[in-house]
Structure 1
Amino acid sequence: MDNSTLQSLDDIFLEYAENSLPNRPQTGVLYKASLPSNFTGVNVSIIRLRRGSFWRRGGNFSGFYMPPRIFSLPIFTRLDMVFSNLGNLSSDYYNVPNHTLVAPIVGFNVYGSRNSTGKFSNLTTPMTKVNLTLFGSPILVQFPNFSPIQNQKAKCVVFYLNGTIEMTNMTMQDMCAVKDQGHFSIVVPYTPRVPRGPKGKKERGQLWKWWVFGFAIGVSGLLLFGFIIFTIVRVFRRRKVEKMEREAERNEGLQATNVGQSRMPFATVVRTQPTIENDYYP
């Protein structure tokens, strides 16, 4: 979306936020803005701060951890800080080429307060946006409902009004460190999805065929391996039996003869000769 549209969006949020302030807003209290139905899911809030207190103490507002020593110029006694969370409408307004948003677009803008005692009296007077200069630590941005993504390199992204985009690494606390007001999110490299049309079905069909072919090759290889093992074992056992037979033949006391296809032992027949017990003949 072009920069003029994004600037107009910030102006709309500022208008609704200012109109949501009570007649005598308390300093340091966060007020939620009422938005029209076409911004369902978007959250906008506003807080009024004393400039001197903000410089000395900083603050923790709506997920933004602001350190002390943030200088604002031009100088106003009080500052109006507007926070926004685009929620499920984030991708309708912001995008990063070749990347996917994994967190909502959040942002804040700081303006000089028109009236430090209550609602501003002249709504036609344009709000003055102040410039921020950090003399201490950076501002830390925490994103709601965000958890680190495994195996993906998440990056912080900063959207500038001039249309440029800057990406930086996240902090150890899974937050983004920024140096100025603006709009921020977290992105990961874009991963194309598998098409679901006829082409996708064809690719899945080919994948199935390759899976069946691989399974068949695996089973065939397993059977061949089993047959080889069986043959080796059988040959080994046969050789062992033959060796035992040869050893038996060398050590046998009986003679052997072939009967059919088998070799069997046999003993030589020796007839016992009759012996006369004495020399007496009747």
Structure 2
Amino acid sequence: MCSEVLGCQGVLLQDYAYRAFDRPRVKSGDVYNGTVPLNLTGIRISAMQLRSGSFFSRGVRYWEFEIPVAVAVRPYVQRLVLVYQNLGNLSLSYYPLQGYTYLTPVVGVLAYDAINLSAVNLPELSLSARGKPILINFSQVESVPDGPSPAPPPPIGEVPNVPTGGTRNEGNKSKVWIIMGSVVGGFVLLVLLGFLSFWVQRYKNRKKMLKMEKAAEVGEALHMASVGNTRAPVAMGTRTQPVLENEYVP
């Protein structure tokens, strides 16, 4: 089953876009306009075949879309087909927005593998812009209508439900993040205080050692003298010479 907004209609649009290649030779870079069935009147589709290398190195301009260089295709294919979709006056049917009015139609470009131009129900390729973003130039924008917006028509196909609640859950999540932030912040502050205390103590010890070394340098140095076959420090002569006891005998 098709569960997306366009659902099976998206697969159908890809099929009708590929039918535009029904000719002997398909030229790369040319736009081939497709035809939709009567029940989809108002939707415009077209297809363009490109080489992946040229698409990556040169980019492409495709109707309202300006795809820059360095846009990668995943998974990689040698050739790809860009299918253009313009939902026209059916935009509000596929994408209903209560209380809003579309000033431009919903447009899109989908990428598919070009290995088989008659294939249907192909998986979409992913386009990843590594440098500049993909631009959309809306050339025709309607003026803003006066008064309240008209009610949208009944949606076509399946439209996913959009949850409207969740405010309380978001508030609880915010409180959890605040508590976690406070705990982490307190732990980081405790580590910083411990590091600061260690650094101050180390600085005091270093200063004390420098003071002791300086005091040692100021003291009197011992001279070296030879004692036998070795050299050893010896003290200089004392200021008070020793006096023999017999020198005081009268």
TM-score category by the smaller chain? 0.5 to 0.7
Written as runs of structure 1 = structure 2, the 5 A alignment for 1:179-258 is: none
Q: 1:164 and 1:135, CA in 2 relative to 1: closer, same or farther beyond 3 A?
A: farther
Would the aligned equivalents of 2:112 and 2:124 in 1 still touch at CA under 8 Å?
Answer: yes
- The Cα of 1:31 is off from its aligned counterpart by 0.3
Residue identity in the other structure for 1:129 = E
Would the aligned equivalents of 1:114 and 1:127 in 2 still touch at CA under 8 Å?
Answer: no
Would the aligned equivalents of 2:103 and 2:144 in 1 still touch at CA under 8 Å?
Answer: no
**SS of corresponding position for 1:56:** helix
Q: Aligned-pair RMSD on alpha carbons?
A: 2.7
With the length of structure 1 as denominator, give the TM-score of the two structures. Answer: 0.48
Would the aligned equivalents of 2:17 and 2:35 in 1 still touch at CA under 8 Å?
Answer: yes
Written as runs of structure 1 = structure 2, the 5 A alignment for 1:23-38 is: 23-38=24-39
Would the aligned equivalents of 2:5 and 2:160 in 1 still touch at CA under 8 Å?
Answer: no
Who is 2:194 aligned against? Answer: none
Q: Does 1:135 align with 2:130?
A: yes
Who is 1:203 aligned against? Answer: none
Q: 1:89 and 1:150, CA in 2 relative to 1: closer, same or farther beyond 3 A?
A: closer
Would the aligned equivalents of 2:103 and 2:143 in 1 still touch at CA under 8 Å?
Answer: no
Who is 1:65 aligned against? Answer: 66
Cα distance in structure 2, aligned partners of 1:89 and 1:54: 30
State the Cα deviation string for residues 72-123 of structure 1 (Å, max 9, x = none): 11111001110011111111111224322111111111011123xxx44xx3
State the Cα deviation string for residues 130-185 of structure 1 (Å, max 9, x = none): 1111111111112242157599xxxxxxxxxx9599xxxxxxxxxxxxxxxxxxxx
Q: Percent same amino acid among aligned pairs?
A: 30
**Equivalent residue pairs, number:** 149
**SS of corresponding position for 1:20:** helix
Cα distance in structure 2, aligned partners of 1:68 and 1:43: 26
Who is 2:8 aligned against? Answer: 8
Q: Which runs of 5+ in 2 are unaligned?
A: 147-158, 163-250
Cα distance in structure 1, aligned partners of 2:144 and 2:32: 33
Select the structure with the greater relative contact order (CA < 8 A; seq sep ≥ 6): 2
Which consecutive aligned stretches of 4+ in structure 1 deviate over 6 angstroms post-superposition? none
Q: 1:47 and 1:58, CA in 2 relative to 1: closer, same or farther beyond 3 A?
A: same
**SS of corresponding position for 2:89:** helix
State the Cα deviation string for residues 205-228 of structure 1 (Å, max 9, x = none): xxxxxxxxxxxxxxxxxxxxxxxx
Who is 1:43 aligned against? Answer: 44
Who is 2:106 aligned against? Answer: 105
Cα distance in structure 1, aligned partners of 2:98 and 2:12: 26
Greater per-residue strand proportion? 1
Would the aligned equivalents of 1:17 and 1:45 in 2 still touch at CA under 8 Å?
Answer: yes
With the length of structure 2 as denominator, give the TM-score of the two structures. Answer: 0.54
Would the aligned equivalents of 2:80 and 2:112 in 1 still touch at CA under 8 Å?
Answer: yes
Would the aligned equivalents of 2:46 and 2:85 in 1 still touch at CA under 8 Å?
Answer: yes
Would the aligned equivalents of 2:52 and 2:80 in 1 still touch at CA under 8 Å?
Answer: yes
**SS of corresponding position for 1:129:** coil
Who is 1:84 aligned against? Answer: 85
- The Cα of 1:23 is off from its aligned counterpart by 3.2
Who is 1:184 aligned against? Answer: none
- The Cα of 1:64 is off from its aligned counterpart by 0.3
